[in-house]
Homo-oligomer: A and B are copies of this chain.
């Protein structure tokens, strides 16, 4: 235990880690019963047994707690790596679907977007969280390029956004659940576009697009 512990965790099982676990668990439970709008630092304090001033010192706001919760949960989502581009896309789309179809996660996402609309600080946190997660899973597209499944020069972030967009559009705009059919069409749409070279910016990788 001489290495520097990861940010915000002290050592595993230490008091800081226990506090964090308790508060995040409390937030997760509250969001399973009630919307984000109903969540307050006082409610988190009551359920977690952690003093409200401790919560405020560490996370500042309810949005801060929920962003931490989202980071915790999405970091446990593995990046698919099956050796097959279409299968990787399917696993990722299914993971996003499963996540967003759970009521409390829906509440987390909706709450963060509400917060983002009201507060540019929260907006920046939300943006950064999505950018970070997208960056992680671009591995899928980068490996597909390496295996020669999709053209060189493919913009990996565009591939991931194309896959995720229809799923979030269903949840946030059409206000529905993500069904099997939508997972399939999102995967196929992204796959067909990627192999057709849609995500290769103009002026890059022409050789591959012709070939």
Are B185 and A158 touching (Cβ within 8 A)?
Answer: yes
- Min distance, Cβ A62 to any Cβ of chain B, angstroms: 14
Q: How many interface residues does chain A have, given as a range?
A: 35 or more
User: Which residues in window 97-155 of A have CB below 8 A to B?
Assistant: 110-111, 113-114, 116-118, 123, 126-127, 130-131
Query: Which of A11-19, A49-57, A74-82, A164-172 is found at the contact surface with chain B?
Result: A164-172
Q: What DSSP secondary structure best describes chain A's contact surface?
A: helix
- Min distance, Cβ A44 to any Cβ of chain B, angstroms: 19
Are B185 and A162 touching (Cβ within 8 A)?
Answer: yes
Query: Which of A25-33, A65-73, A85-93, A189-197 is found at the contact surface with chain B?
Result: A189-197
- Min distance, Cβ A87 to any Cβ of chain B, angstroms: 17
Q: Which residue numbers of A lie inside 8 Å of B, CB to CB?
A: 35-37, 110-111, 113-114, 116-118, 123, 126-127, 130-131, 158, 161-162, 164-166, 168-170, 172-176, 181, 185, 188-190, 192-193, 196, 198-199, 201
Pick 24 A–B contacts, CB within 8 A, sort by A: A35-B118, A37-B117, A37-B118, A111-B117, A113-B114, A113-B117, A113-B172, A113-B173, A123-B175, A130-B173, A131-B174, A158-B185, A161-B169, A161-B174, A164-B169, A168-B173, A169-B169, A172-B173, A188-B193, A188-B198, A189-B193, A192-B192, A192-B198, A193-B193
